[in-house]
């Protein structure tokens, strides 16, 4: 059975709790197990949590879910750019799939609610990578 770690951002919690549920349901539907869930304050804080999970020997892949809704400034862009870059770094540095189920930037709350399924896509992507990636030599 594939074992996943899940990182869930608490910012915009009414939306991310739906995303957490979508992620757990997708894992269950695929016959995978989420052995550890780490809740972080916001998306910006996700890379360290993803790194800690990726270091656990039982974790095959990590899915990260969160929602960054536009405020009055470009701060949403700063958060998502930093998080996406550092999550990609974690994946390569730990040789472990880390998938991006983060919605935004440039997104309203209504658009965020329409995109909660992206959490399930992140889980499905993580499982696809676990089965498709060749073993390292
Ligand atoms: N505005 C959003 C945030 N902001 C918080 C940051 O992600 C971070 O928790 C804080 O700067 C402390 O390091 N986070 C989201 O997930 N979504 C937002 O819309
Ligand atoms: C990205 C956000 O939702 C928020 O933390 C920043 O809002 P603002 O751009 O109004 O400072």
- Which candidate in 75, 85, 88, 109 is catalytic? 75
C-beta of 43 in contact with ligand 1 (< 6 A): yes
Cα 74 to ligand 2 centroid, rounded to whole Å: 7
C-beta of 106 in contact with ligand 1 (< 6 A): no
What was the pLDDT predicted at 136?
A: 84
C-beta of 12 in contact with ligand 1 (< 6 A): yes
Ligand with smallest separation from the Cα of 72: 2
Q: What is the mean pLDDT of each run of 10 residues along the chain (137 residues)?
A: 98 98 98 98 99 98 99 98 99 98 98 98 98 92
* 75 noted as active-site residue: yes
What was the pLDDT predicted at 8?
A: 99
What was the pLDDT predicted at 107?
A: 98
Please report the atom of ligand 2 found closest to the CA of residue 76.
1
Contacts made by residues 81-85, CB under 8 angstroms, sequence distance 24+ = 82/44, 83/43, 83/44, 83/46, 83/47
- Please state, in angstroms and rounded to a whole number, the distance separating the CA atoms of residues 37 and 84: 19
What was the pLDDT predicted at 43?
A: 99
Instruction: Indicate yes or no: pTM above 0.90.
Output: yes
Tokens (6 digits) for 80? 């998502």
Ligand with smallest separation from the Cα of 77: 2
């Amino acid at each position: 059975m594939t074992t996943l770690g899940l990182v869930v951002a608490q910012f915009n919690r009414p939306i991310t709790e739906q995303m957490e549920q979508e992620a757990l349901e997708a894992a269950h539907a695929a016959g995978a197990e989420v052995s550890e869930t780490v809740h972080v304050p916001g998306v910006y804080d996700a890379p360290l949590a993803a790194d800690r999970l990726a270091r656990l020997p039982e974790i095959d892949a990590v899915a990260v879910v969160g929602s960054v809704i536009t405020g009055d400034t470009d701060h949403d862009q700063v958060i998502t750019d930093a998080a996406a870059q550092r999550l990609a770094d974690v994946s390569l540095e730990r040789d472990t799939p880390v998938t991006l189920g983060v919605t935004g930037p440039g997104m309203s709350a209504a658009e965020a609610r329409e995109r909660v399924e992206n959490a399930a896509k992140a889980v499905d992507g993580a499982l696809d990578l676990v089965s498709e990636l060749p073993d390292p030599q």
